[in-house]
Structure 1
Amino acid sequence: MRTVTLDQMSLAAGAGAGAHRSLIIGIFLAFVLVTLGITLWAGRRTSGTADFFAGGRSFTGFQNGLAISGDYMSAASFLGVTGTIALFGYDGFLYSIGFLVAWLVALLLVAEPLRNSGRFTMADVLAFRMRRRPVRTAAGISTIVVSIVYLLAQMVGAGSLVALLLGVSGGTAKQVIILGVGALMILYVTVGGMKGTTWVQIVKAALLMAGTALLTVLVLHRFGWNISTLLGAAGHAGGKGSAFLEPGLKYGATSVSKLDFLSLGVALVLGTAGLPHILVRFYTVPTAKAARHSVNWAIVIIGAFYLMTVVLGFGATALVGPKAIKASNPAGTTAVPMLAERLGGGAGSTGGAVLLSVISAVAFATILAVVAGLTLASSSSFAHDLYAQVIRKGRATEKQELRAARLAAFGIGAVSVVLSMFADKLNTAALVALAFAIAASANLPTILYSLFWKRFNTRGALCSIYGGLLTSVVLVVFSPVLSGKPTSLLPHADFAWFPLENPGLVSIPVGFLLGWAGTLLSRGEADQAAKYAELEVRSLTGAGAH
């Protein structure tokens, strides 16, 4: 199979053909306008906190399953994972496995009891049997930090995608694009709330599955529907032969990389059950049964999607080539759009321009839907937990709470935009893996202890959240993610003393251990047994939670 040269695969050249440029921008803008229309439609039907934070609990299990899939199948999945597979073969496929298996933890341990026990945010459950103000403060801070790290991945993906789509280059162009994505993100949240965000995610999930399925069919057809032929061509084009299909290209060469792989796997499998923007989706359905059904549907949809990313990743290696992919984006983020252009007929062809624009628009809709969900989760936590319960001590009106949520969306969006402008060299899948590690370190131990450990108390919750959060963030700051490598956030600096790129192997056990130690080293609270008994009833039946 012939590998396309760098000149042939230059997206700037492909997108730059005058007639095709107008076609690409037109199709792209059409997708954006549709999602904006949905947001404005939903915004007119959002009237209170229940609508804004939980969509009025009006979505069915299937609808919420689609929305969860839309929230979960982010730029990291469509762009980052596929690009990692295209560059590293088998080792990139490990991301797909980790993201999928993680849902079993969410289904078996978290989905139903969390839906039954809370109203709008994760902190509703954590604060029920603890001292509310300190626990809500800790949970709110953790939610915002995890959401911002996750948002970085989406913004980086958006900058690379749209810059390539429009045929522009340079840091300034990407920064302008990221600023535009941030503005759209804030508009989605402040106008549409959870209802608008959910419907955008449903539409986006359907579009993403359709687009991924189309590319998968085209790739398989190109190789005679023979997976073996596809893998052989990918191994040859990747320049590694059979090694491209075996472990070791990214992880396994050294003891450190083996530990990094183990850390990545632990973070991916445990992180989903602690992600705030996923947890809040369980509150949008009317019953616990619907929550279970939504997770079941999500597993089916997400499983099919990740199987297709394998075909797309190896297809990009075989048809585009790793040199062209790296020349476009060193982290491989643009492998899918480049594959789409190639399958449509190549740079400069009408078919290539149409398929490129459609797939890029779908990917951009994916990013918009996910950033809206993340911003909504973090701004809701600020308004409902920090503002209403901590700052106003429970005396805030619904109108004041909604205003605080909208203002928080502006602030969180601004911080995410600024940070994203310096993170364009990082792979989106790796960035999301960091968010998973932080969520699994700070949120998951506290959730599980609160739901299932009778003795757990306020000090244990604070030790778990703050300890897991600080440990994971500090290890990331002093890891190769931030300095010490050409692909680091600060490539010309070197203060990385922690060798692993993902902190999960250390920070997750620390989060669990600190929660356990903090509980045992403090005295029990007066009504601890009674509160746990009431929470247990709520988690099993949902009585009194809503």
Structure 2
Amino acid sequence: MTGPSSLAVAGAAADHRTLTMSLFALFVLATLGITLWAGRRTRTATDFYAGGRVFSGLQNGLAISGDYMSAASFLGIAGAIALAGYDGFLYSIGFLVAWLVALLLIAEPLRNSGRYTMADVLAFRMRQRPVRTAAGISTIVVSLFYLLAQMVGAGSLVALLLGVHGEAAQRWTVVAVGALMVLYVTVGGMKGTTWVQIVKAVLLILGAGLMTVLVLARYDFDLSSLLGAAAQASGKGSAFLAPGLKYGVSGTSRLDFVSLALALVLGTAGLPHVLVRFYTVPTARTARTSVLWAIGIIGVFYLMTLVLGFGAAALVGSRTVKASNAAGNTAAPLLAQQLGGGAGSTGGAVLLAVISAVAFATILAVVAGLTLASSASFAHDLYASVIRRGRVTEREEVRSAKLAAVAIGAVAIGLSIYAEKLNTAALVALAFAVAASANLPTLLYSLFWRRFTTSGAVWSIYGGLVSAVLLVVFSPVVSGSAAALFPHTDFHWFPLENPGLVSIPVGFLAGWLGTLYSPEPADPAKYAELEVRSLTGIGAH
């Protein structure tokens, strides 16, 4: 027989769930409103691909931050720190340092040399069709890897928020996220996506800042006390605060750390959805200013992930985090609930709702940016330049981009269903590895090597892309472990979880060999024109 007390508890839980869902829905409706507003102002291809090139350095810096501070940053890194301590914080360091490469080598030359996509730069002094084909394929593959992380984060988050369990509920969540991201891209284009990213970046900084202050307040703003409590609650003692808990167990794990570091530091400058952000500003100087703003905003955020991760370990407990989600993706929301007063309290329900809604807005903004970058590459590079050979109107090109967004969304949904057990930060690290292997070598060679040829560009992209993807397929990420995509089979032979240590040198080497044995020489006049444009901005769009 059901007693009055159990009925009261059930009623309170229902009230909290209603409150949580109401706040959650409010955030989603607000972002949809922004998208519809921007969609009415999207009329040309420049509006759809580059937001009309009207954003300031601060606005684009916030948008870049919104694009970059993804589910991996907020959910994945907090979870990685909560479970692996010091070694989990290595993700934050890698993600932040990577921006120096983008600032020093890529931002200004890319803005001056391209129009809408990365392939505009690569094909400037090469034969258009083979280079645009390779660049388009690479962009789509990298974006799909990144999309997996966001979808997995969304599934874990909403399952916690709604209190639902089981694979079916998480799969429907992934489908809903996919539908929303397609709507964002097809309706709002780059303008809508950019404003959603700006709003989301502000909300994420405010939300993470509030949690950081609340965590530190529990320990009288003494970071040493927080770290000591986290080490004690983790069950691993002082090892939790020292290097090696995850990446120092064996020689293989140490190599995995080196591979991860290479991928994180070099991958940012090759991420398509980050690169296209440089085209949304009017000048190269503004592009560089936007990167400086992004470094400052992202740097503050990643310092806060240190407090959030160790705070989750200390206040929630590593075992509780792992029991909720084996990869740790729910550490930040669980910490928010605990800071608000714990499960069942009104304060806990409110803070959980706010932080979950911010995280969900984070996911929606990032998946919209990724989908836009990949669909734009398909429409502008593959459809307009390769399939139609330039004989296409702006209206047809934008329509093909919208159809591509639907197709890419469907593929991302299908793949995400099998990746729910993986940590979002680890999934993003794979995307960074593919980007650093295929895109970065080709970009650097194109911008700075006079002898670089079409064959070198094609070899570099395909060499880095194929080696990275093959090594991932035959790594412990896909098979051979309990947390793999296919845990009940084992066909892995590559021992590292991240392929960057091997695939990044392969990408550079392939570009060098392709150029060395190229049947056609480089065009010195075209390189001179690219060099002048990239350095001065003369002739830039």
Aligned to 2:531: 536
**Cα distance, 1:486 vs structure 2:** 0.3
2:233 aligned with 1:231: no
2:463 aligned with 1:464: no
Aligned to 1:398: 394
Aligned to 1:521: 517
Distance 2:12 2:320 in 1: 17
Measured against aligned partners, the alpha-carbon deviations of 1:340-366 in whole angstroms (never above 9, x if no partner) come to 000000000000000000000000000
**Cα distance, 1:523 vs structure 2:** 3.3
Give yes or no for contact 1:15–1:347 (8 Å, CA) kept in 2: no
2:182 aligned with 1:182: no
Aligned to 1:283: 279
- Cα distance change on mapping 1:383 and 1:484 into 2, 3 Å: same
Give yes or no for contact 1:80–1:429 (8 Å, CA) kept in 2: yes
Give yes or no for contact 1:388–1:395 (8 Å, CA) kept in 2: yes
2:273 aligned with 1:309: no
Aligned to 1:10: none
**Cα distance, 1:121 vs structure 2:** 0.1
Residue in structure 2 matching 1:94, options 66, 86, 90: 90
Aligned to 2:6: none
SS of 2:488's equivalent in the other structure is coil
Distance 2:287 2:500 in 1: 28
Please tell me the residue identity of whatever aligns with 1:354.
V
Q: Which runs of 4+ in 1 moved over 3 A?
A: 13-16
Give yes or no for contact 1:15–1:166 (8 Å, CA) kept in 2: no
Give yes or no for contact 1:15–1:165 (8 Å, CA) kept in 2: no
Aligned to 2:254: 258
Distance 2:341 2:455 in 1: 61
Aligned to 1:299: 295
Distance 1:42 1:205 in 2: 18
Task: Map residues 391-430 of structure 1 onto 2, 5 A cutoff.
Answer: 391-430=387-426
Please tell me the residue identity of whatever aligns with 1:71.
D
Aligned to 1:160: 156
2:133 aligned with 1:108: no
Give yes or no for contact 1:211–1:362 (8 Å, CA) kept in 2: yes
SS of 2:125's equivalent in the other structure is coil
Task: Map residues 364-379 of structure 1 onto 2, 5 A cutoff.
Answer: 364-379=360-375
Aligned to 1:495: 491
2:252 aligned with 1:268: no
Measured against aligned partners, the alpha-carbon deviations of 1:102-152 in whole angstroms (never above 9, x if no partner) come to 000000000000000000000000001000000000000000000000000
Distance 1:488 1:50 in 2: 41
Distance 1:95 1:224 in 2: 27
Residue in structure 2 matching 1:146, options 134, 142, 146: 142
Please tell me the residue identity of whatever aligns with 2:246.
K
Measured against aligned partners, the alpha-carbon deviations of 1:297-346 in whole angstroms (never above 9, x if no partner) come to 00000000000000000000000001110110000000000000000000
Distance 2:305 2:328 in 1: 14
Distance 1:56 1:537 in 2: 24
SS of 1:163's equivalent in the other structure is helix
Give yes or no for contact 1:156–1:428 (8 Å, CA) kept in 2: yes
Aligned to 2:78: 82
Please tell me the residue identity of whatever aligns with 1:540.
L
Please tell me the residue identity of whatever aligns with 2:537.
G
Distance 2:460 2:159 in 1: 41
Residue in structure 2 matching 1:334, options 330, 333, 336: 330
Distance 1:455 1:217 in 2: 54
Aligned to 1:347: 343
- Tell me how many residue pairs correspond in the alignment: 533
Distance 1:279 1:103 in 2: 12
Measured against aligned partners, the alpha-carbon deviations of 1:175-213 in whole angstroms (never above 9, x if no partner) come to 000000000000000000000000000000000000000
Please tell me the residue identity of whatever aligns with 2:51.
G
Please tell me the residue identity of whatever aligns with 2:302.
Y
2:506 aligned with 1:510: yes
- Cα distance change on mapping 1:344 and 1:130 into 2, 3 Å: same
Distance 1:264 1:15 in 2: 47
2:296 aligned with 1:325: no
Give yes or no for contact 1:15–1:353 (8 Å, CA) kept in 2: no
Give yes or no for contact 1:238–1:322 (8 Å, CA) kept in 2: yes
Give yes or no for contact 1:15–1:348 (8 Å, CA) kept in 2: no
- Cα distance change on mapping 1:334 and 1:222 into 2, 3 Å: same
Q: Where does structure 1 lack aligned partners over 5 or more consecutive residues? A: 1-12
Give yes or no for contact 1:441–1:469 (8 Å, CA) kept in 2: yes
**Cα distance, 1:544 vs structure 2:** 1.8
Distance 1:345 1:376 in 2: 40
Residue in structure 1 matching 2:482, options 479, 486, 490: 486
Distance 2:419 2:259 in 1: 22
Q: Normalised by the size of structure 2, how large is the TM-score?
A: 0.98
2:420 aligned with 1:453: no
2:188 aligned with 1:192: yes
Give yes or no for contact 1:126–1:447 (8 Å, CA) kept in 2: yes
**Cα distance, 1:541 vs structure 2:** 1.7
Give the share of equivalent positions with the same residue, in percent: 75
Distance 1:182 1:340 in 2: 26
Aligned to 2:117: 121
Aligned to 1:22: 18
Residue in structure 1 matching 2:127, options 121, 131, 135: 131
Give yes or no for contact 1:55–1:194 (8 Å, CA) kept in 2: yes
Give yes or no for contact 1:263–1:502 (8 Å, CA) kept in 2: yes
Please tell me the residue identity of whatever aligns with 1:544.
G
Distance 2:422 2:518 in 1: 42
SS of 1:495's equivalent in the other structure is coil
2:476 aligned with 1:474: no
Please tell me the residue identity of whatever aligns with 2:223.
I
Please tell me the residue identity of whatever aligns with 1:413.
G
2:540 aligned with 1:545: yes
SS of 2:197's equivalent in the other structure is helix
- Cα distance change on mapping 1:283 and 1:337 into 2, 3 Å: same
**Cα distance, 1:14 vs structure 2:** 10
